[in-house]
Amino acid sequence: MTKKPPALSDLRREIDRIDEAMHRLLMERGDIIDTLIKVKNTQESGSAFRPAREADMMRRLVERHKGILPLDTAESIWRTIISTFTFVQAPFSVHADMTPGDAAMRDSARFHFGFTAPLVTHIGAAGAVAAVNASKGDIGLVPATSASGAWWQMLEAADAPKIIARLPFVERADHPAGLPVFAISHPAEDAIVRDVTVWSVRVSGWTAATGGALGPLAEVVAVPDKTLDGAALLVSVAGDFEHVASALKKAGVTVRSHTLVGSHATRYTVDARA
């Protein structure tokens, strides 16, 4: 015999039960965060953002995700939960360089940090970095391909903010907030993830053609410096920087200086249909 389908009223009661359970769990999470604030005295530290822990959480989310709920929605919900409770621990603002376009950067900021944290807009990466530098725990968002001046040189000083993440972390071709951006903040040492290191490099003898020498090894953003017949480079590399230095030398480029300006987790790539 054909099994009788459940009544709509019964299904709606189940949905109400699940909704209430999710709300209670969120409030329970809030209680734990409240205790965490007291234990860690988070208000007295720098940025409460924890890129290493967040990367691990997002990997686990993707690995367990299944069913009809789009991954975009699940990721957005978790991002909002993480960012909101981070804000509760230590309030922060998001400073975004709107140079690539208001819509793309705004989508990235809101997708990754929700609506609780204030969004402060800047025209140019330098303004966003300067605002983060003057703060205790704010976040800056700068396009990962931005070459509007060597803004990354502002990160070279030991006490300057650093690149702590590259977003989106869960990468796919149809990501709703797919603009590649660097997240910049004053990092907590125990929160740093160093899968990929990011370097501010000053070179002589640079030409556009020599950039191809680094293609297999690193991601590079270059700003030519005509006065020195060289360039300022932002180099992201998984592994030893010496491999990059060696490749540059073979291409006839002289490395004048290289300074670590941040690091981030290796991006997690998933099928676009996930």
For residue range 54-96, list pLDDT tens digits in order: 999 999 999 999 999 999 999 999 999 999 999 988 899 999 9
> What is the C-alpha to C-alpha distance for residues 79 and 88, in angstroms, rounded to an integer?
14
For residue range 147-178, list pLDDT tens digits in order: 888 999 999 999 999 999 999 999 988 899 99
In terms of domains, do 62 and 178 share one?
A: yes
For residue range 4-33, list pLDDT tens digits in order: 888 999 999 999 999 999 999 999 999 998
Specify the pairing of strand 94-97 against strand 139-143.
Answer: parallel
Q: Domain ends where: 152, 172, 189?
A: 189
For residue range 83-140, list pLDDT tens digits in order: 999 998 889 999 999 986 789 999 999 999 999 999 999 999 999 999 999 998 999 9
Q: Is residue 68 part of a domain?
A: yes
Give the range of the structural domain holding residue 135, as residue numbers without chain letter: 13-189
In terms of domains, do 211 and 94 share one?
A: no
Average pLDDT over residues 264-271: 88
Q: How many domains does the chain have?
A: 2
Q: Which residue, among 144, 136, 155, 126, has the nearest Cα to 181 in the 3D structure?
A: 144
For residue range 176-200, list pLDDT tens digits in order: 999 999 999 998 887 888 999 999 9
220-251: burial string, b at 16+ Cβ within 10 Å, e else: bbbbeeeeeebbbbbbbbeeebeebbebbeeb
Q: Is residue 86 part of a domain?
A: yes
Q: Is residue 3 part of a domain?
A: no
Three-state DSSP state, 267: coil
In terms of domains, do 146 and 249 share one?
A: no
In terms of domains, do 179 and 243 share one?
A: no
The gap from C-alpha 95 to its chain's centroid, in whole angstroms, comes to 13
> Which segment of 36-40, 64-68, 78-82, 244-248 scores lowest on mean pLDDT?
36-40
Residue type, 188: A
In terms of domains, do 158 and 246 share one?
A: no
In terms of domains, do 99 and 169 share one?
A: yes
We report the CATH number of the domain holding residue 41 as 3.40.190.10
Residue 60 confidence (pLDDT): 95
